[in-house]
Amino acid sequence: MKPKILVARAVFPETLDYLSQHFEVESNQADTVWSKAELTARLRDKDGAFTTGSDRIDAEVLAACPKLKICANMAVGYNNFDLEAMTARGVLGTNTPDVLTETTADFGFALLMATARRMAESEHYLRAGQWTKWSYDMFAGSDIHGATLGILGMGRIGQGIARRGALGFGMNVIYHNRSRLDAATEAECKARYVSKEELLKTADHLVLVLPYSAASHHTIGAAELAQMKPTATLVNIARGGIVDDAALALALRDKRIAAAGLDVFEGEPKVHPGLLTVPNVVLTPHIASSSVPTRKAMAKLAADNLIEFFSKRRALTPLNSQVLAQT
Ligand code: 8YV
């Protein structure tokens, strides 16, 4: 008998076809965002789950689903998993690293450029029919080339952004991370390690690429924004909750920093109302990894993790591999 899996959100039809060769699949091609109770009810008789960042797997869900053995996330971030609770129950978690690195770094850089050069704001102005003449300082922004690029969180995506900045745009790249990179990687990214304080004070453009956890909650709040240059831009492609969005909305309103580019939000898909009313922010709906080839590669990797697990009791990108050693 084929193992039973739940695919919690809509996926590419080819992903469902692929999964159906190996599993008895319950899918959600209507793409309904299930409540926790609905998700739990559907997971109750399943052996595995194909999840996304919007599907919270915590101790309560796990307690109600004793058959569940693996949750394969179609995302590199996994703050939707209570990994400790999963490990305690012997449930494997997997994610999709590497396949989205370059696409996400491309988007981070695009958002940085759109923010610094005021692309969204000027496009809205044009569409509203307000463009009647040229003027010397119309939507004058800040430069990318030669500027100081600060990166907070220097994992694979952070390094991709550093390479783009240093090699493509001649930027002076500085970074801060929990642990310093080895000398060879620093040299390859042309990035210099600095304290968080120096990063905040000296970056012309600050890009956030760190994972979300209780420890990184509100890493950028009013106090940190106050340390940044009034001409600086801030880009968040990491996770909602890393920035205090209410404090950022006020800082943007009062021009305490010049502008922000945000792909992720606290409590998304809701967006803090203060961010919707200030002009100096570029807002995108959590699409940094969203190129067709990359989303297909992420879906394939999540599916392959399920297939490997049920056929060979291993996984390509496990998060808590101690579970595999348990039996
Ligand atoms: C996903 C992401 O699209 O991979 C991540 O961590 O944030 C995005 O690439 C999102 O989490 C949906 O699963």
CATH of domain 4-97+292-326: 3.40.50.720
Is 272 an annotated catalytic residue? no
Q: How far is the CA of 133 from the centre of ligand 1 (A)?
A: 42
Summarize pLDDT for 9-25 with one digit per residue, the tens.
999 999 999 999 999 99
Give me the pLDDT at residue 327, please: 62
Q: Report the share of the chain in percent with pLDDT over 90.
A: 99
Residue 8 CB–ligand 1 contact under 6 Å:
no
The active-site residue, picked from 9, 239, 272, 295, is 239
Report CA(301)–ligand 1 centroid distance (Å). Answer: 13
Question: Which residue has the least CA distance to atom 6 on ligand 1?
Answer: 77
Cβ neighbours for 110, distance < 8 A, ≥ 6 positions apart: none
For the stretch 256-285, pLDDT in tens is 999 999 999 999 999 999 999 999 999 999
pLDDT at 6: 98
| One fold for 4-97+292-326 and 101-283 | yes
- The amino acid sitting at 117 is R
> Which of ligand 1's atoms lies nearest the C-alpha of 289?
9
| Distance in Å, CA 75 to ligand 1 centroid | 4
157 token code pair: 């995506």
Q: Is 164 a catalytic residue?
A: no
Which CATH superfamily groups domain 101-283?
A: NAD(P)-binding Rossmann-like Domain (3.40.50.720)
Q: Is the pLDDT of residue 89 over 90?
A: yes
100 lines ligand 1 (CB under 6 A): yes
Half-sphere exposure (Cβ direction) of 303: Cα atoms closer than 13 Å: 21
What is the 8-class DSSP label of residue 319?
Answer: S
Contact 50, 7 (CB under 8 A): yes
Q: How many residues does the chain have?
A: 327
Report domain extents, the chain. 4-97+292-326, 101-283
Average pLDDT over residues 145-170: 98
Of all atoms in ligand 1, which is nearest to the CA of residue 78?
A: 6
**How many CB atoms are located within 10 Å of the residue 4 CB?**
15
Strand order in the sheet with 259-262: 191-193, 172-176, 148-152, 205-208, 233-236, 259-262, 281-283
Region 295-303 average pLDDT? 98
Q: Which atom of ligand 1 is nearest to the CA of 287?
A: 3
Q: How far apart are CA 70 and CA 49, in angstroms?
A: 6
Assess whether 268 carries a catalytic annotation.
yes
Q: Specify the residue with its C-alpha closest to ligand 1, atom 4.
A: 75
Marked catalytic residue, from 121, 268, 272, 295: 268
Task: List the residue whose alpha carbon is closest to atom 2 of ligand 1.
Answer: 75
Phi, psi angles (nearest 5°) of residue 238: -90, -80
pLDDT digits (tens, 9 = 90+) for 202-239: 999 999 999 999 999 999 999 999 999 999 999 999 99
